[in-house]
Amino acid sequence: MTTATATSAYLIRPGRALDRPEVAKMIRARATWMRDSGYGRWVGWERNADELASQVGDEEWPTWVLCDSANGIVGVTTASHETPLTGWSEDERDQRAVFLQSTITDPHFTGRGLGVLIAFWALDYAAKDGHDWVRRGVLTVGKDNRGLVRYYRRQGWRVVRAVPHSRRRDVTVWSLQRPAERQPGLSELVAW
């Protein structure tokens, strides 16, 4: 278990191979939460829990874990420096952007804003590193996962476009972004 520092409640640090079991357990718990909450996409998270966890500490995947002092790892995200093809134009892909994917927080702490904390960290991380944007994608099937798009929009993410998935026509790919920006007050909450 990894704890935060004495001065901040949370710590965000690069993922390590040793974190994998803890991350896999959290992903499975989140999949169960999604299933029980009626969100259809829980199946993929459950099925891919070990594979996603195996990316933590693998240098090909820039994974970061959010830790709190009492509970260890309570969130994970991948913060890539490449914008994917799907949902983004060539010009946009040439811009300097951090792309968030596979962001998951511990469902025992829903409503605490852990995902928001990861997002604000990403804005700061990206700006500090000279990037202009932070981006993320959401896949929806019918109404499933639309709540997530609303949740992100409420936080200030702007929808750039929503397009049908190139291979799965029932899936819509939502492209969201916001400008990278230093977050001066963030260090009171989270060390990184």
Cα–Cα dist 84/90, whole Å: 10
Q: What does the binding site for ligand COA look like in residue numbers (CB under 6 A)?
A: 30, 34, 39, 41, 103-105, 110-111, 113-116, 136, 138, 145, 147-148, 151
Phi, psi at residue 68, to the nearest 5°? -120, 160
Cα–Cα dist 101/173, whole Å: 13
Cα–Cα dist 192/67, whole Å: 10
Which residues, including other chains, have CB under 8 Å from residue 42's CB and lie 6 or more apart?
Answer: 31, 32, 33, 34, 35
Q: Of 119 and 127, which CB lies nearer to ligand COA in the complex structure?
A: 119
Give me the least distance between CB of 154 and ligand COA, in Å please: 8
Give me the least distance between CB of 110 and ligand COA, in Å please: 3
Give me the least distance between CB of 153 and ligand COA, in Å please: 12
Instruction: Residue 45: name the closest of 120, 148, 118, 154 by CA.
Output: 148
Q: Of 6 and 13, which CB lies nearer to ligand COA in the complex structure?
A: 13
Q: Of 97 and 114, which CB lies nearer to ligand COA in the complex structure?
A: 114
Q: Of 83 and 103, which CB lies nearer to ligand COA in the complex structure?
A: 103
Alpha-carbon separation of residue 51 from 75, 79, 88, 144 (angstroms): 16, 17, 26, 23
Neighbour order of strands in the sheet with 10-14: 158-164, 171-179, 133-141, 97-105, 72-80, 63-68, 10-14, 190-191
Q: Of 116 and 162, which CB lies nearer to ligand COA in the complex structure?
A: 116
Give me the least distance between CB of 118 and ligand COA, in Å please: 7
Give me the least distance between CB of 135 and ligand COA, in Å please: 11
Cα–Cα dist 130/133, whole Å: 9
Q: Of 17 and 43, which CB lies nearer to ligand COA in the complex structure?
A: 43
Give me the least distance between CB of 175 and ligand COA, in Å please: 11
